[in-house]
Amino acid sequence: MDPEALTQLLSPQGWALLNALPPYDERMAMTLSERLHREGVDPVLVAAALTQSRLRARGREKSDDFADGMLFTQAGLEQATRLTVGARHARRYAQAGCTRVADLTCGIGGDAMAMSALGLRVLATDVDELTAAVATVNLRHFPESEVRHGDGLALDLAAEGVDGVFADPARRTASGRRRHDPAAYAPPLDDVLGLRSSVPALGVKVGPAIPHTAVPADAEAQWVSVDGSVVEAGLWFGPLAPEGPGRSALVLRGSAATAVRAPDGEVPAPEVGPVGAYLHEPDGAVIRAGLVGLVAQEVRGRLLDRTIAYVTADTLVDTDLATTYRVLDVLPFGLKRLRTALREREVGRLTIKKRGTAVAPEQLRKQLDLRGDQEATIVLTRISGAQHVIVAEPV
């Protein structure tokens, strides 16, 4: 979206057109575009409105119903915080007693909206002028908050009365490739971390692949998953981390939230042992946080292999930190042996999970030549260093 397109969208005619469009349907987009052109609508406005309609449809995954009243950029949507996660960010600042929060890299304004909704006054900045304009539109319902175009790191935080800082540095290149090195973030992570000496209540959203060695010793590092997908990690300092430094995981599934934490990284080392009656696959946030040992402790289990994040147990202990399977069979890996076992079970629909093996699931599926009307799950993994297949069913 360019400035001309944004200007037309924000005109009374443009805003009315955007909000009058039917739910986005890619199959009907060309037909709708042609009709609007025949009706004399400016082609720039047609393209901008249909693009926003498409982005709003995608934005509902992150922003729920709020997406229907928002504007998006493609890059802003990619990096935007999910509504359920942003609300938890905002809650940290509110519970820490912050009243004015500087969002130094606000993007399209998702986190700033969540903070404003809790009554916090937000000073949001973005170095991209068009993105800052979009954020201004999205924050229009919160007159106590403001958006500025500029470098957030250049703000005089004391003069602005800021008592909390949030940053979500850009982690993609102009071509869309992910930046995994914190030094390559925009702005670099170290530049943001330097602010905690002047504003202790600092929070930074980072990529979930951040290595533990890059986490400062005075941070609470929390990895977050939503419905099974790891979406972010956050570094929280000072009053935003009331329990002190350490690693934690937050698992969000539907309306349920489960958190687990290891103070100062103290995690019990699980034993390694044979396959039991149940197999637990820890949530990705738990794995990223290095807290698999806490899952093993909770379910009274052990690891299948020292280097693989699968936990097995002899008795069923329910946990929200892992997906649990009942073990039906355990086989040394071999194509013919596995094909025979699945045909004996009349399996035609197969879920293939893997960890610690180079086997390509889709290639294996073709080689198995499945037939039957039963369903099964197989887990390809190492057990005490050797390749095995576990036939299982979800509990």
Domain assignments of the chain as residue spans, ordered by start: 3-71, 77-263, 278-394
CATH class in words for 77-263: alpha beta
Contact at 8 Å (CB) between 203 and 196? no
Alpha carbon distance 64, 34 (integer Å): 29
Direct distance between the N- and C-terminal alpha carbons of the chain, in angstroms, rounded to an integer:
47
Contact at 8 Å (CB) between 225 and 252? yes
pLDDT means per 10 residues, the chain with 395 residues, are: 90 95 94 96 96 96 94 94 96 98 97 97 97 97 97 97 97 77 93 97 96 95 96 98 95 94 78 96 96 95 94 96 96 93 93 92 92 93 92 94
Task: Decide: helix, strand or coil at residue 204.
Answer: strand
Q: How does DSSP classify residue 174?
A: T
Alpha carbon distance 281, 395 (integer Å): 12
Output b/e per residue, 219-247; b: 16+ Cβ within 10 A.
bbbbbbbbeeebbbbbbbbbbbbeeebbb
Write down the pLDDT at residue 20. 95
Write down the pLDDT at residue 269. 85
Q: How does DSSP classify residue 371?
A: -
Write down the pLDDT at residue 264. 64
The secondary element (H helix, E strand) that includes residue 37 is helix 26-38
Q: How does DSSP classify residue 277?
A: S
Rg of the Cα atoms in the chain: 25
Write down the pLDDT at residue 265. 60
Residue 391 bridge partners (DSSP): 329, 378
User: What is the Cα 128 distance to its own chain's centre?
Assistant: 23
Write down the pLDDT at residue 180. 79
- Single out the residue of 282, 280, 298, 271 nearest to residue 249, CA to CA: 282
Output b/e per residue, 342-380; b: 16+ Cβ within 10 A.
beeeebeebebbebbbeeeeeebeeebebeeeeebbbbb
Write down the pLDDT at residue 385. 85
